[in-house]
Amino acid sequence: MAGIRHDELIDQVRDALIHLYDPVHLQSHPLASLLGGMADVDQVTRAQKLRRLLIEAIEQLSPADGASASPDASRSYSALCYRYIDGLSPEEIAHILAISPRQAYRELREGIEAVATVLWDRLQMDQQVAPLQSAVSATSDRRSLAQATVEQLSAHAQPEILDVCDVLKGILNDLKPYCEQIGAGITLVSSPPPVHVYADRIMLRQAFMNLLTSGIDRVGRRSLAITVERLPRELRLTLKLHPEVETSTVPPDEIEREGIGWEVALQLLRKQGGQVTYQGDPWSVEVKMPLAGPHHVLVIDDMPDIIDLFRRFTNQYAIEVVGAETAAKAFEIMQGIVPSLILLDVMLPREDGWETLQRLKADPITAQIPVVICSILNEPGLATALGADGYLRKPVSPEALRRELARWLPLTPAPAAVPQ
């Protein structure tokens, strides 16, 4: 290849990957000129396109079929993603992949060489180079940059306990001038007492902001209504046309956008445990996110020491352990709260755990609550056959309890004081 040797390309790829999210460094990087030939394009666009090419080259190394891919190929691809997209250290990568740090460095070196080969092959296909970049539309550039921005935000996320309604109210205040300008509106029509999630504030704000502005565009800038509901283990946010506000519809061709904001909103929500579903006629969006807590865990056990022990095991999390020494007391408690999880002993007075399990699963109100049998007996098969969702054998270690809790609840850290 005229102008550069393959070993020089490898060195340039390594340097560019190290500075993947440094636009100043990528602006004048020699690899950008080699791959783009863009003397007539501004330097910011040059950096954006180089970043996109590098990410695409890494993705080309992704094993197409996880079941049939070789372990070496999977490790090299994973190491590249963890190191240069997620920003992890080689030592952290070694721990995640269950390999030695020395092997992690070797996987990274081989991955960089593979990326360089991908780019080398692209150069071989077209000696003119320029068509490689000119064929890329401005929209795909922005979409690639948006993807890189999402990855960077995720890599530097700082989750905290957030009240979703407070976040939404701040966004609605920020959007008020825009809505007035275009003749649209967004109203928080229904919200429960504070609903807390464990999320990065900037990522959550950007997700909701993009979701709302994209929603206005998709319905012709008519007014939207937001409803926030607290479910047993998650919140549900619904966005749809306001049923009581009539506004004029702007023809879609006057407001149609590229959809990048919508895509960014979906990615940011999913990266924070959110699930998004939507429909087109009538247009509506539903977002579900796990609650930060406190989650109520009902422990039904006739030994108060066990209940206290479970409280100590979980005091660093946003979990509130509620104890009941009899089944009757447990059903009385559930008149006031809906627990996110029930830990049930078998040998109880007056009504044993197997009978209690049957009552819980037969009642539509409690049937969806996960029930984990917690007993000195070793009967996991019987527990499953009778409808239990899990099994813990006493004595229960802190590690075993945390593993079981993590199956059903987000183990978010307990703040100094979580508002109720």
Beta bridge partners of 297: 321, 341
**Rounded to an integer, what distance in angstroms lies between the CA atom of residue 332 and that of residue 324?**
9
Average pLDDT over residues 242-254: 53
Phi-psi region of 70 (alpha: psi -120 to 50; beta: other; left: phi over 0): beta
3-class secondary structure, 313 = helix
Cβ pair 345, 375 in contact under 8 A: yes
- And the tokens for 85? 């997209």
State the angle between helix axes of 90-97 and 71-80 in degrees (0 to 180), rounded to the nearest 10.
140
Out of 48-62, 106-120, 237-251, least confident range: 237-251
Q: Count the Cβ atoms, other than its own, within 10 Å of residue 169.
A: 13
**Rounded to an integer, what distance in angstroms lies between the CA atom of residue 128 and that of residue 34?**
10
- φ, ψ of residue 335 to 5 degrees: the values are -70, -25
Beta bridge partners of 163: 196
Longest Cα separation, the chain: 87
Average pLDDT over residues 83-107: 87
- φ, ψ of residue 275 to 5 degrees: the values are -120, 130
Give pairs for 332-336: CB < 8 Å, separation 24+. 333/298, 334/298, 334/365, 334/366
* C-alpha neighbours within 13 Å on the C-beta side of residue 98: 2
**Rounded to an integer, what distance in angstroms lies between the CA atom of residue 86 and that of residue 99?**
18
Q: For the purposes of burial, counting CB atoms within 10 Å of the CB of 153, is it exposed (0-12), middle (13-18) or buried (19 or more)?
A: middle
* CA of residue 208 relative to chain centroid, distance: 14
pLDDT number for residue 244? 64
pLDDT number for residue 416? 47
Pairing between β-strand 371-375 and β-strand 390-393 as defined by DSSP bridges: parallel
* CA of residue 338 relative to chain centroid, distance: 26
What are 6-50's pLDDT values in tens digits?
778 888 899 999 988 888 888 888 887 776 544 344 444 678 888
What's the start-to-end Cα distance of the chain, in Å?
Answer: 66
Average pLDDT over residues 318-343: 91
pLDDT number for residue 1? 46
Site of tokens 């998004």: 276
**Residue 313 identity:** F
Burial state string for 290-329 with b = 16 or more CB within 10 A and e = fewer than 16? bbbbbbbbbbbbbeeebbebbbebbeebbbbbbbbbbbee
* C-alpha neighbours within 13 Å on the C-beta side of residue 103: 12
Helix (H) or strand (E) holding 322: strand 319-324
pLDDT number for residue 191? 67
**Rounded to an integer, what distance in angstroms lies between the CA atom of residue 334 and that of residue 193?**
20
3-class secondary structure, 203 = helix
| Complete domains list, the chain, with CATH | 6-155 (no CATH), 160-290 (3.30.565.10), 295-408 (3.40.50.2300)
pLDDT number for residue 192? 65
pLDDT: which is higher, 125 or 413: 413
Q: Which of 330, 239, 235, 333 is nearest to 290 (CA)?
A: 235
What are 176-227's pLDDT values in tens digits?
888 888 888 899 987 667 788 888 899 999 999 999 988 888 777 678 999 9
> If you write DSSP's letter for every residue of 59-90 in order, what string do you get?
HHTS-S-TTTS-HHHHHHHHHHIIIIIS---H
Out of 81-95, 115-129, 208-222, 311-325, least confident range: 115-129
Contacts of residue 322, Cβ cutoff 8 Å, sequence gap at least 6: 296, 297, 298, 299, 333, 337, 339
Cβ pair 91, 84 in contact under 8 A: no
**Rounded to an integer, what distance in angstroms lies between the CA atom of residue 290 and that of residue 324?**
26
